[in-house]
Amino acid sequence: MGISIEVNVNGEKRHSEVDARLLLVHYLRDTLGLTGTHVGCDTSNCGACTVLVDGKAVKSCTMLAVQANGAEVKTIEGMAENGELHPLQSSFKEAHGLQCGFCTPGMIMTAANLLERNSNPSEEEIRHALEGNFCRCTGYHNIVKAIQLAAQQLT
């Protein structure tokens, strides 16, 4: 036990001593108190736990905290800047892209990775990109619309 790691989380350097078996999602939620990242299935399927690790969407329930040593991690808490919602956040609100909101942080982080790779995705490309993110409420339709809206605002 007690492996020393340094992770840049939402722009802030965090030093911690962690157990090798600590999952990244528990590091974020329990050690750092960043509870915006959710645990849904805990079996690598639902994507509720998605965060960006060095800019790439990753299911944080399927990564060890020690694997993030030296990396930059971005969670939903790091999306807004200077008190202003990120366009993905405001368009989920605008386009009614959420109901209970449980899946939303993961959806937004995956969408951020998609828009970084493809600034003008088609509906089909958005739906393909969300294959690893489950929503039990919305039927996905407004989530797709919200991502399209954010894509327009970001370009």
Ligand X SMILES: Cc1cc2nc3c(=O)[nH]c(=O)nc-3n(C[C@H](O)[C@H](O)[C@H](O)COP(=O)(O)OP(=O)(O)OC[C@H]3O[C@@H](n4cnc5c(N)ncnc54)[C@H](O)[C@@H]3O)c2cc1C
**Binding positions for another protein, rule: CB under 8 A:** 1, 3, 19-21, 23, 26, 42-45, 47, 50, 53, 56-59, 62-64, 66-67, 69, 110, 113-114, 129, 131-133
Name the amino acid, one letter, at 68: A
Residues in CB range of 90: below 8 A, 6 or more apart = 150, 153
Quick check: 30 binds ligand FES (CB under 6 A)? no
Candidates 16-24, 39-47, 66-74, 88-96 — which segment interacts with ligand FES by CB under 6 A?
39-47
Among 17, 30, 42, 54, binds ligand FES (CB under 6 A): 42
User: Tokens standing for 32?
Assistant: 């750092």
For 77, list phi and psi in degrees, rounded to 5: -65, -20
Q: Is 52 helix (H, G, I), strand (E, B) or coil?
A: strand
Quick check: 36 binds ligand FES (CB under 6 A)? no
Q: Write the binding mask 90 to 129 for ligand FES: x where contact by CB under 6 A, - elsewhere.
A: --------xxxxxx--------------------------
Residues in CB range of 150: below 8 A, 6 or more apart = 87, 88, 90, 91, 92, 111, 115
Could you say which residues in the range 4-63 bind ligand X, by CB under 6 A?
44-45
